[in-house]
């Protein structure tokens, strides 16, 4: 007997209010970019994924991804069918063409200095509208002992957005992105290597206010999930810890 794997797809028409909140309309630029990215990946990359069906779930959620390079948000948009709207650091908005591109892709700005109140409120509003928000909880590219996969610290803003919106957090560990800054992995010879693991949704506690204690507890749960996913990838694909930055 042959087993058939069915990939969950979303309806082209907006669902009724009784089902689940509709996703944001797919803009042509995002659609064209992801289509091109999938073609490039099909000829250049070997992508090994653990539980790739998880981010295809319906309803709002926060994709909380690790950050070994600046490529994780772009790659996740290629790998995941649902549209992801990224919280993007203020520094990327300095140049007008880049700022226009980010706006066209429905990204929104976060100022990493101080408490990012405006960005958290924007994330909550989008989540309550049934959309998917992407966040890198480490706050920037991190390596070594500072990386979340090794138990490094993460920002609690992701926990605040989850608790106040009620949307779950889907943790994601992506390995190999730091090696994609050369030409060879992008040649059409399937030499690029990526390893991705998605964790089960982490749901915020019901009927709980966002306090320092509740935010820290949820952040600690997310950080532990990163370490568990990293260990799972290493065991599944016999990865060497020394190869990670």
Residue-wise DSSP of 181-196: SSSGGGSTTT-EEEEE
CA distance to 35, 37, 160, per residue, from 30 (Å): 8, 10, 28
Closest CA relative to residue 229, chosen from 94, 89, 65, 71:
65
Report the share of the chain in percent with pLDDT over 70.
Answer: 87
The total of other beta-carbon atoms located within 10 Å of residue 99's CB is 15
pLDDT at 11: 35
pLDDT of 103-159, one tens digit each? 888 899 998 766 689 999 999 999 999 999 999 999 889 999 999 999 999 999 999
Q: pTM of the prediction? A: 0.85
pLDDT at 236: 95
DSSP state of 180: -
pLDDT at 4: 34
Q: Averaged over 210-235, what is the pLDDT?
A: 96
Classify the phi-psi angles of 122: left when phi > 0, otherwise alpha if psi is within -120 to 50, otherwise beta. alpha
**Three-state secondary-structure class, residue 22:** coil
Q: What is the mean pLDDT of the chain?
A: 87
């Amino acid at each position: 007997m042959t087993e058939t794997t069915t990939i969950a797809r979303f309806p082209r028409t907006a669902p009724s209010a009784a089902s689940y909140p509709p996703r944001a309309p797919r803009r042509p630029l995002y659609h064209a970019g992801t289509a091109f990215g999938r073609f490039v990946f099909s000829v250049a990359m070997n992508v090994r994924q653990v539980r790739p069906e998880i981010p295809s779930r319906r309803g709002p959620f926060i994709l909380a991804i690790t950050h070994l390079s600046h490529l994780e948000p772009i790659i996740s948009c290629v790998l995941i069918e649902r549209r992801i709207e990224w919280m993007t650091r203020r520094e990327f908005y300095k140049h007008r063409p880049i700022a226009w591109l980010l706006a066209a892709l429905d990204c929104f700005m976060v100022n990493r200095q101080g408490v990012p109140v405006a960005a958290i409120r924007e994330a909550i509003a989008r989540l309550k509208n049934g959309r998917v928000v992407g966040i890198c909880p480490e706050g920037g590219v991190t390596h070594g002992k500072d990386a979340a996969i090794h138990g490094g610290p993460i920002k609690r803003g992701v926990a605040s957005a989850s608790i106040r919106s009620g949307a779950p957090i889907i943790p994601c560990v992506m390995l190999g992105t730091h090696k994609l800054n050369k030409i060879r992995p992008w040649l059409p010879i399937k030499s690029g290597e990526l390893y991705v693991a998605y964790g089960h949704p982490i749901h915020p506690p019901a009927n709980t206010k966002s306090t320092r204690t509740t935010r820290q507890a949820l952040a600690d749960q997310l950080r532990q999930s990163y370490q568990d996913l990293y260990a799972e990838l290493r065991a599944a694909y016999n990865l060497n810890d020394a190869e990670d930055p």
